[in-house]
Amino acid sequence: MIVAVDGPTASGKGTIAKAIAAHFGLPHLDSGLLYRAVARQVQLDGGDPDNPADAEKAAGFPEELLQDPILRSEAVGQLASHVSVHPRVRALLRRRQQDFAHQPGGAVIDGRDIGTVIAPDADVKIFVVASGQARAQRRYLEMRERGEDVTQEQIEDDLRRRDERDSGRAESPLLAADDAVTLDTSKLGREQAIAEAIRIIEAKR
Ligand code: DC
């Protein structure tokens, strides 16, 4: 069984994808991490994330970079949204994601274009959404917990910019597949959102 979980930043898709993978005993790939690794590699190379040649070169990042906790930072997330605009970068990361999705037994992948481009044949597609306010509040609490010094307004601003770039790009924009089930987590706690996703999968298979 292939499960595609797409949605905007801080919608809860990563938490949901990880939990359903554990529940159904499937391997899980966080595709955003690949774009974050490209972004971090551009930074290490002293390159420009908006320059397609710099970003393309960085797509050959070493495997161990995926383990670096700095990839999870908000700053690298913003840069990832820049490098992921370039069609060549997306093409270079596509095969790896498609192979992961189509391994024997199936997989859970979360991202922006999994149900539309990477695995249009996925058995279940969940499109996770949440209100801007709910997403900003969650991200704010997460960052405060990590000791990062930010205001809720700054986060709302960052999320807006990231949404515009991720949804507005020409190549593989953030988009719900026609056959995706939308899961709105605005008013749901973590466990409720996970239970709802499990219910959607059970109903589909
Ligand atoms: O899900 P995330 O916040 O870790 O993703 C970081 C950035 O990577 C996001 O702003 C856009 C990009 N991305 C993408 O273009 N396609 C994906 N499948 C996953 C992430």
Domain boundaries, the chain: 2-204
Whole-number pLDDT of residue 149: 86
- Specify the range with the lowest mean pLDDT, choosing from 59-63, 113-117, 146-150: 146-150
The CB-side HSE value for 28 (13 A sphere, CA atoms) comes to: 19
DSSP 18: H
CATH topology for the 2-204 domain: Rossmann fold (3.40.50)
CA distance 18 to 182: 18
Cβ atoms of 51 and 132 within 8 Å: the answer is no
**pLDDT band at residue 147 under the 50/70/90 scheme:** confident
Burial of 89 (0-12, 13-18, 19+ CB in 10 A): buried
Q: Which ligand 1 atom lies nearest to the CA of residue 118?
A: 18
Give the pLDDT score at 131.
94
CA of 110 to the centre of ligand 1 (A): 9
Mean of all residue pLDDT scores within the chain: 95
Residue nearest to atom 11 of ligand 1 (CA): 81
Among all chains, which residue has been given the structure tokens 């999994």? 114
Within 6 A (CB) of ligand 1 lie 9, 31-32, 35-36, 77, 80-81, 84, 111-113, 162, 166
One-letter amino acid at 94 equals R
Q: Label residues 117-137 b or e (16+ Cβ within 10 Å = b).
A: bbbeebebbbbbbbeeebbbb
Lowest mean pLDDT among 24-28, 98-102, 169-173, 192-196: 169-173
Asked if residue 84 has pLDDT above 90, the reply is yes
The pTM of the full predicted model, rounded to 2 decimals, is: 0.95
User: What is the pLDDT at residue 73?
Assistant: 87
